[in-house]
Structure 1
Amino acid sequence: MRGADNHQLLSAFLDVLRYERQLARSTITTYQRLLEAHLDELEQPLNEVDQETLQRLLNRAHQCGMKSRTLNQHRAAWRGLYGWLCERGYMATDPAEALVLPKQRDKPLLKALSPDAIANLLRPPPDDEPLDLRDHAILELFYSSGLRLAELAALDASIAGKTSAAIRGKGDKTRNIYIGQAANQALARWLKVREGWLAPERAESALFISQRGTRLTHRGIQQAIVRYGKKFLPDQPLHPHMLRHSFAGHVLQSSQNIRAVQELLGHSSLNTTQIYTHLDFQHLSQVYDQSHPRARAKIKKK
């Protein structure tokens, strides 16, 4: 019953994560998926696994094309499991503690939009067509605040009109985001037509909704960005992270303050933020002469 013993230990470990450590549901789900796959690869009981076996599995996954981020997730899951086994006395030494990630090839530079492309993309729509107003507001908010896709999808309409707000982001961590003037203007235009999509019998708190009156899904937001981009920036494929990259790159180039960018993006490690130091925009226009011009510059009307 060797396999059953392994799965019983895994089940007990997941219960610890769930009830004692109270990790986020998404984290537990990820650990469960990775560790169940790990059990399928093992040919011995968990408490007989050594570091050489784990390192060989990690190296093989790398040779099969697994990216460094996923490899790191596997290593973190293994460290959690085997560390717990050691704490409970099932093992004398932790075979995952000294695992080394296989060396990765140089990462490709992040793709980001130039300031001129951003200026063209984020010009207000010429009419009050609700779909364009919603999608324009989505793009403005992505670029204004450096949000992740899941973070934007979770926003409620109560955020409109605020210049800053506390949100719960990746890893269930709370951080402050900042909402610029241009983004708030776009949100105000969207909220004027949003009610037309709400079902009378349904109360919906979501900031961005579908034409059925329900919270816009991650897929719906991605489709909105692609649709809007084809209409207003047809030569540039768009995705949510491209706007986040653009936000980070432009703020970093203007401010030269990588620590501030780290906090704005919600990165737990400065190493993650440092990739933005490689973004080189040769045509930074005078409009972007502050840390985030769309957030700070006054819009002059005469």
Structure 2
Amino acid sequence: MTPAIQRYLEHLRVERRVSAHTLTAYGDALARLEKLADAAQRPLATLQSAHIQRFAAQLHGAGLGARSIALTLSGWRGFYRWWAQQPDAAGLASNPVEGVRAPRAARPLPKALAVDEAVALAMTETPSDGEAASVEAEALAARDHAIAELLYGCGLRLGELLGLDLAAGAESAGWIDIDDATAHVFGKGSKRRSVPVGGPALQALNDWLLHRPALAGSPDGGALFVSRLGNRLSPNQLRSRLKAQGDRAGVATPVHPHMLRHSYASHLLQSSGDLRGVQELLGHASIATTQVYTRLDFQHLAKVYDAAHPRAKRK
């Protein structure tokens, strides 16, 4: 990559402290930009809006979805905004990505579990001594139980949960104050928020902390959730374990971490109707992001109507 892009990615990693997943997405977007600019035989500093529009059309023609193109354009836009403030941006007249929009796409509804499915998944219990194959297996089961309870009971994002430490610290991305029953996390946009932790999640968490020493002889001993080898649990490891846990709980739909966040939001909204409160708990900057769950709530009410009202029954 060009030196400017390399420095921008380092700026995102060190100063903006974006997650590894976000950093990879930005790197992929800027790699696309370099490839398209090279094919057009245009230096990055000389690109204009017409070039960016053509590049977006080329990505669309290659099969990239509207949402992916929007994220790519967002990455390019952020890079040029940053570059314009750097000493080596003398040849940069303006941000060529400003005003360029991705193709419109219908926004899909988030996938949420039914209440009984989410509760069944979260209530998966640690096996007893007679059922556990080993101390390690029992510790892993306790960890997975605590993870499911926190994902569904607090609506945490995957990165927020994996960033939790045992205790608060200067470098901590998040921690849980058990005495105060509150999770403190570092979410999107470098925003901290506090979320209440319910009784079942606290009980599962305390159970995991009792079992954690069986796994934690690691260089990353400060992480709340660790792997079998004692390192901080990775996203892929969590996804795999959660999917297996959903299968054991009898959930028909393959379960992924964000599905439990969607379930948390949808079930809260169904019960309370407090859109602003749910927005705060989820850490959404805009209430428009939270409003998508009102559509899920309407779908739930429509199913109730279809099942219960005499005039709604279909022949």
Confirm or deny a common fold (TM above 0.5).
yes
Q: Does structure 1 residue 148 correspond to structure 2 residue 157?
A: yes
Alignment counterpart, residue 36 of structure 1, candidates 31, 35, 53: 31
Change (3 A) 1:67 1:268: farther
One-letter identity of the residue aligned with 1:77: G
Alignment counterpart, residue 64 of structure 2, candidates 60, 63, 66: 66
Aligned residue pair count: 275
Q: Residue 55 of structure 1: CA displacement?
A: 1.0
- Match runs of 1:225-264 below 5 Å: 225-264=242-281
Q: Residue 30 of structure 1: CA displacement?
A: 4.3
The root-mean-square deviation of aligned C-alpha atoms, in Å, is: 3.0
Q: Does structure 1 residue 187 correspond to structure 2 residue 187?
A: no
Q: Residue 84 of structure 1: CA displacement?
A: 5.0
In 1, the alpha carbon distance for the partners of 2:216 and 2:83 equals 52
Higher relative contact order (CA 8 A, sep 6+): 1
Alignment counterpart, residue 206 of structure 1, candidates 203, 223, 231: 223
Matched with 1:300 is none
TM-score w.r.t. the length of structure 1 is 0.78
In 2, the alpha carbon distance for the partners of 1:60 and 1:68 equals 12
Matched with 1:75 is 73
In 2, the alpha carbon distance for the partners of 1:190 and 1:84 equals 43
**Structure 2 unpaired stretches of 5+:** 133-137, 168-175, 305-315
Matched with 2:55 is 57
Choose 24-33 or 272-281, whichever is displaced more.
Answer: 24-33
In 2, the alpha carbon distance for the partners of 1:126 and 1:28 equals 36
In 2, the alpha carbon distance for the partners of 1:112 and 1:186 equals 22
In 1, the alpha carbon distance for the partners of 2:126 and 2:90 equals 68
- Match runs of 1:1-302 below 5 Å: 7-11=2-6, 17=11, 22-24=15-17, 26=20, 30-42=25-37, 43=40, 44-84=42-82, 88-104=89-105, 106-125=106-125, 127-128=127-128, 129=132, 130=138, 131-158=140-167, 159=176, 161=178, 162-199=180-217, 204-279=221-296, 280-282=299-301
Q: Residue 233 of structure 1: CA displacement?
A: 2.0
1:215-237 superposed Cα distances (whole Å, 9 cap, x missing partner): 22222211221222221225332
One-letter identity of the residue aligned with 1:95: P
Change (3 A) 1:55 1:270: farther
Change (3 A) 1:221 1:70: same
Change (3 A) 1:117 1:207: same
Change (3 A) 1:66 1:259: farther
Secondary structure, aligned partner of 1:165: strand
Q: Residue 115 of structure 1: CA displacement?
A: 0.9
In 2, the alpha carbon distance for the partners of 1:258 and 1:10 equals 40
Choose 81-90 or 130-139, whichever is displaced more.
Answer: 81-90
Change (3 A) 1:231 1:81: closer
TM-score w.r.t. the length of structure 2 is 0.75
In 1, the alpha carbon distance for the partners of 2:72 and 2:57 equals 12
In 2, the alpha carbon distance for the partners of 1:83 and 1:183 equals 42
Matched with 1:288 is none
Change (3 A) 1:269 1:61: farther
Secondary structure, aligned partner of 2:2: helix
**Structure 1 unpaired stretches of 5+:** 1-5, 285-302
1:64-83 superposed Cα distances (whole Å, 9 cap, x missing partner): 33234432232223223434
Secondary structure, aligned partner of 2:164: coil
1:31-78 superposed Cα distances (whole Å, 9 cap, x missing partner): 444223212111212343221211121123233332344322322232
Secondary structure, aligned partner of 1:176: strand
In 1, the alpha carbon distance for the partners of 2:35 and 2:144 equals 44
Choose 141-150 or 161-170, whichever is displaced more.
Answer: 161-170
